[in-house]
A = this chain, B = another copy of it.
Amino acid sequence: MVRFQGHFETKELDPFTLEKAYEALKFEHEGRSVGYYDVSEPSLLLCEEVTSSLLKNTVYIDTIAVVGIGGSSLGLKAIDRLLRPKTPHAKKILYFENSDPISIAYEASKVEFAKTLFIVISKSGGTVETLSIFKYLIEKFNITLENSPQVLIVSDEKSVLSQFADHYNLKHFVIPSNIGGRFSVLSAVGVLPLMLAGFDFTGVLNGAKSFVERFWERKEEHLLRKAAFCVANGQKYPINVLFSYSDTFEEFGKWVVQLWGESLGKRNRRGERVGLTPISLIGSVDQHSFLQLIIEGPLNKTVTFMSIEHSRDELMIPEISLPFLEKSDFVNGKSFNTLINAQCKATMQSVQQSGVSVDEIIWECIDEVSVGEMIMYYELLTSAAGALLEINTYDQPGVELGKQILQKYFQN
């Protein structure tokens, strides 16, 4: 369970705004133009399929190598990191993302081919990093593609990558065409690698499902108010900070940054540039880095504080008093979890006192259901903000030019 509290001040909002956002999402949902709202049901079926067949055929596997970038890796990594402490027996997952040779060589050095399952993920099917790395792995490990039980493909139904999979008779799984890359982690993109690694992905899906149901029943209105606040104050507060108090949120923060940044940074109907700049911070580390800027710098940010009420590790700060260092004894005998949560509260209070708008998200603990809830929360929040900005939340036309220029570099 996740609690949402200490919301942004929304008294001044036109109440019609919330209706506008809700109706826009409902329209996308009912018209099936946007598919993630309903992704849990088919994904639960896919989980069953994975459990009943694929899992049994891959018992020899101890490593999963995911080849994918952006929407094909960020969400996976987020869930992997969050649930790993609760699922220590899960198989190792290696991520081949960047075209950085140092990283590729390093990850490849960890692959023992006979025990590795390669999952190639690309929504469009044409991602140059993904395909280049895939070719590198084919050569390095001498992969025979025809009928290979060690290569799975996840892509759009009619993409070139799916056609390639058919050609070699490789198992392939579909990302529905109405689910964009950055909204796809609850589809086959997440199901395949995470179920096969041994995570309880059904729990994640159930969490997401119950959250979106509550949203349709108007029981999560705080989400609409937050989206409305961020959009209404977008000029004043162009930067939205997510300040998460646990290292395990690092990849989740990156996933949120992609979702919020790439979805909302657009030209609106009138051709005007709109968008909100997301920043992900980790507490308490970034109290020693970015916090000063939030507190005394320009008032151009909102801050969402996120914390975990109950940690899995009840590590204690010993009752040791060191000579000359007695000033820090006030935390003796407390748990580190108590300390980090108190740091979150204290920082939130000081940020608030400096005049910054803050809200708070508290995970009771990190479990599958909460992970699913929070994924759905951020996807809905993004869709609601996009609707109010009057943009297409689901495309990314701005990155095309760079791809064309890239091709030209190599043609010359």
Chain A positions near chain B (C-beta within 8 angstroms)? 69-71, 74, 85, 97-105, 125-129, 131-132, 134-136, 138-139, 160-161, 163-164, 167, 181-182, 238-239, 245-248, 254, 257-258, 261-262, 264-267, 273-277, 279, 282-285, 287-301, 311-318, 320, 322-325, 327-328, 330-332, 334-337, 339-340, 342-343, 345-347, 349-351, 353-354, 396-399, 401-403, 405-407, 409-411
Residue contact A274 to B298, C-beta cutoff 8 Å: yes
User: What separation, in Å, do the CA atoms of A126 and B337 have in the docked complex?
Assistant: 20
With A266-B296, A277-B297, A295-B398: A346-B136 Cβ-Cβ less than 8 Å: no
Residue contact B102 to A345, C-beta cutoff 8 Å: no
Residue contact A320 to B70, C-beta cutoff 8 Å: no
Residue contact B284 to A99, C-beta cutoff 8 Å: yes
Residue contact B101 to A311, C-beta cutoff 8 Å: yes
What residue of chain B has the Cβ atom nearest to residue A328's Cβ? Answer: B131
User: What separation, in Å, do the CA atoms of A311 and B103 have in the docked complex?
Assistant: 11
Residue contact B300 to A277, C-beta cutoff 8 Å: yes
Can you list 19 A-B contacts with CB-CB less than 8 angstroms, sorted by A residue number? A70-B285, A99-B339, A99-B343, A104-B336, A128-B339, A129-B284, A131-B322, A136-B316, A139-B318, A258-B288, A261-B293, A262-B291, A266-B292, A266-B296, A291-B399, A295-B401, A330-B410, A343-B406, A345-B405
Residue contact B69 to A300, C-beta cutoff 8 Å: no
User: What separation, in Å, do the CA atoms of A399 and B343 have in the docked complex?
Assistant: 12
Of B297, B345, B401, which one neighbours A350 at CB under 8 angstroms?
B401
Other 6 A-B pairs with CB < 8 A, given A136-B318, A262-B293, A264-B293: A70-B285, A126-B325, A132-B336, A274-B297, A275-B298, A345-B409
Instruction: Report B-chain residues with C-beta under 8 Å of the C-beta of A282.
Output: 98
Residue contact B132 to A328, C-beta cutoff 8 Å: yes
What residue of chain B has the Cβ atom nearest to residue A168's Cβ? Answer: B323
Instruction: Report B-chain residues with C-beta under 8 Å of the C-beta of A273.
Output: 296-299
With A285-B69, A289-B70: A331-B100 Cβ-Cβ less than 8 Å: no
User: What separation, in Å, do the CA atoms of A265 and B127 have in the docked complex?
Assistant: 39
Instruction: Report B-chain residues with C-beta under 8 Å of the C-beta of A293.
Output: 261-262, 264-265, 275, 277
Instruction: Report B-chain residues with C-beta under 8 Å of the C-beta of A136.
Output: 315-318, 336
Residue contact A405 to B324, C-beta cutoff 8 Å: no
Residue contact B101 to A297, C-beta cutoff 8 Å: no
Residue contact B265 to A100, C-beta cutoff 8 Å: no
Instruction: Report B-chain residues with C-beta under 8 Å of the C-beta of A129.
Output: 284, 339
User: What separation, in Å, do the CA atoms of A84 and B339 have in the docked complex?
Assistant: 33
User: What separation, in Å, do the CA atoms of A100 and B250 have in the docked complex?
Assistant: 12
Residue contact B257 to A289, C-beta cutoff 8 Å: yes
Of B160, B277, B322, B334, which one neighbours A410 at CB under 8 angstroms?
B334
What residue of chain B has the Cβ atom nearest to residue A97's Cβ? Answer: B285
Give the residue among A181, A317, A353, A411 with the most B Cβ atoms within 10 A. Answer: A317
Instruction: Report B-chain residues with C-beta under 8 Å of the C-beta of A182.
Output: 289
Instruction: Report B-chain residues with C-beta under 8 Å of the C-beta of A104.
Output: 313, 315, 336
Of B161, B261, B325, B347, which one neighbours A289 at CB under 8 angstroms?
B261
User: What separation, in Å, do the CA atoms of A128 and B344 have in the docked complex?
Assistant: 14
Instruction: Report B-chain residues with C-beta under 8 Å of the C-beta of A337.
Output: 101
Residue contact A296 to B98, C-beta cutoff 8 Å: no
Of B100, B134, B288, B345, which one neighbours A69 at CB under 8 angstroms?
B288
